[in-house]
Structure 1
Amino acid sequence: MASVFVSYSHEDEALRDEFEVHLSMLKRDEAISVWHDRRMLPGDAIDDVISSYLSDADIVVLLVSPQFLDSYYCYEKEMLAALDQHEKGISRVIAVILRPCDWQSAPFAGTLVAPTDGKPVTKWPSSDDAFLDVVQSIRRVLEDHKTSDPQQAEEMDNHQTSKTNDPEPRSSNLRIKSEFSEADKDKFVDESYDYIKKFFGNSLEALKSRNDEIDFRMRETGDDRFSATLYRGGKKVSECTIYVGSDHRSRTISYSDQASGHSNSYRLSVRAETDDYKIYLSSSFSMYHDRDKKLNPEGASELFWSELIEDIQ
């Protein structure tokens, strides 16, 4: 069993919780054990305990964000020590980019960076997809370690089994359920619509700048409603209207494949829903439901954008 040390900023605790949930199968298979500072006990000497678990770690996961890079403790105490162990072959470092930040010049940039291509977790259509990608990277590291050095892998298992410095083990899954009001959901819908509108404006500008034959028209057609039209060689090839509306259940953000002003017909829509821990966007159409469940605003933007651009791809 490999010991995994998680280094993170407390401002990213919610994302750390999500990440640990995705490690469940690795823990059930007894492939890993996970430790982070929320597992310390009252009265523990913080520096000594953290240093002990870090030095004993087989894999160190850095959950990287602007706050992580800004944290003296995360950067100077944990990351630099982890990289020193990595260079000596004592442990492996995996940097997980949680949110956009200037990480490319950081000392860990030459190690394994996840998710794929260092795309931040929050920029994926779904954080579930992003963390699954991270877990698959961890599985590859574990498998590579076993096949490349079986003796060291056996020593790793024996070492982990013999650890006795955790006299009162407890779960690190200490999340509690949250309650979200209708006002919270309405605010999320409004913020998501604003994000989608900005996303479309930037995407249309980028598309035009890279393709001389492409032009577009984007305009407000009412409160919480805009339309976009794509032209190729002066000929209209695709159009849409995106607007905030409502149905019998809740407020929605809908996509119509017509730029006809105030038409309330739509091709697909998303609404704010909640689980026990967060608010997310979910498609109301079964054909999208399984693929794109629990979308963030960028995920919904990509879903709508793919509809608009499909005809010219």
Structure 2
Amino acid sequence: MSAASSLSCRVVLSYARLDEAHRQTFRKHVADLERSGVHVFDDRDIQTGVDWEPVLFDEMERADIIVLLLTPNFVASEFCMDSELPIAERRWKSGECRLFPVNVAPFDVAKDSFLGRLQRTPSDKSLTEYRTAAPKQWREVARQLRKLVEGVSDARDRGAAPTSRPTHSGTGAPGGQGAATGNHITGSTVHGPVWQVGEVNGGMTINYTQPPAADGPDDPPKSP
């Protein structure tokens, strides 16, 4: 199996339902990523008759990369801003996933908002502002996403750092006794890529690594 066909990564798309045309465009441009083994998911992939909300949130909790299709519709959507975006922000800040904000159409947010601080792609102007050149920019978005996917897959192969929701076994005990997954303990200090910690008994100092930099959804119901 070639390197191009052995990519292992979970990508979830967050978008506003009013931006269905942009969702379709995005999925067309990342179709070859899916052929390479990348799991690409959005709410349209949920089967009819299924309770869609827990499925969607579970996919977001397990995603290695969360793609945000940013438009005025996204910002106006209570579901996108109040339900989906907080999951993405929490997991990104804890280092559990990467964010890939796509600047699809011009929008305005407060300077101190989370979205306002994220670097987007394209960074100069939105895709819709490119007009006839937009298809070329969509291809560039797909290429950038592929590079990010390859980086996540390589990091997983090296065991460098978790990019999906981690699991932890064992609890720390007084004097630094205990077990930790993907870390090592010296005295009462845990070293390494500690992303999420459950209950810890005894005095311990946890050194957190910084979360990765950002690379760079219409209101309910979002049933398929």
* TM-score, normalisation: structure 1: 0.46
Match of 1:190 in 2: none
Instruction: Give the whole-Å Cα distance in 2 for the aligned partners of 1:109 and 1:152.
Output: 32
> 1:144 aligned to 2:144?
no
Instruction: Give the whole-Å Cα distance in 2 for the aligned partners of 1:62 and 1:93.
Output: 7
Match of 1:93 in 2: 99
In structure 1, the gaps of 5 or more residues are 160-313
Instruction: Give the whole-Å Cα distance in 2 for the aligned partners of 1:104 and 1:18.
Output: 28
Match of 1:84 in 2: 90
> 1:24 aligned to 2:31?
yes
Deviations for 1:189-232, whole angstroms, at most 9, x for unmatched residues? xxxxxxxxxxxxxxxxxxxxxxxxxxxxxxxxxxxxxxxxxxxx
Q: Does the aligned pair in 2 maintain the 1:5–1:36 contact within 8 Å?
A: yes
* Matched position secondary structure for 1:4: strand
Instruction: Give the whole-Å Cα distance in 1 for the aligned partners of 2:89 and 2:162.
Output: 21
Match of 1:49 in 2: 55
State how many pairs are aligned.
156
C-alpha RMSD over aligned residues: 2.4
* Matched position secondary structure for 1:43: coil
Deviation at 1:142, TM superposition (A): 2.1
Q: Does the aligned pair in 1 maintain the 2:96–2:162 contact within 8 Å?
A: no
Match of 2:18 in 1: 11
Higher strand share: 1
| Runs of 4+ more than 6 Å apart | 153-157
* Matched position secondary structure for 2:33: helix
Match of 2:80 in 1: 74
Deviation at 1:103, TM superposition (A): 4.3
> 1:58 aligned to 2:52?
no
> 1:114 aligned to 2:121?
yes
Deviations for 1:143-180, whole angstroms, at most 9, x for unmatched residues? 333455534489779x9xxxxxxxxxxxxxxxxxxxxx
Aligned pairs for 1:149-298 within 5 A: 150-152=157-159
Higher RCO structure (Cα 8 Å, ≥6 apart):
2
Deviations for 1:73-101, whole angstroms, at most 9, x for unmatched residues? 10111111101100111111111111111
Q: Does the aligned pair in 2 maintain the 1:93–1:112 contact within 8 Å?
A: no
Instruction: Give the whole-Å Cα distance in 2 for the aligned partners of 1:28 and 1:101.
Output: 33
Q: Cα–Cα, structure 1 residues 146 and 40, in superposed 2: closer, same or farther, change >3 Å?
A: closer
Larger C-alpha radius of gyration, 1 or 2? 1
Q: Cα–Cα, structure 1 residues 42 and 149, in superposed 2: closer, same or farther, change >3 Å?
A: closer
Q: Cα–Cα, structure 1 residues 154 and 84, in superposed 2: closer, same or farther, change >3 Å?
A: closer
Higher helix share: 1
Instruction: Give the whole-Å Cα distance in 2 for the aligned partners of 1:23 and 1:74.
Output: 22
Q: Does the aligned pair in 1 maintain the 2:103–2:121 contact within 8 Å?
A: yes
* TM-score, normalisation: structure 2: 0.63
Instruction: Give the whole-Å Cα distance in 1 for the aligned partners of 2:141 and 2:160.
Output: 21
In structure 2, the gaps of 5 or more residues are 1-7, 167-224
Q: Cα–Cα, structure 1 residues 149 and 52, in superposed 2: closer, same or farther, change >3 Å?
A: closer
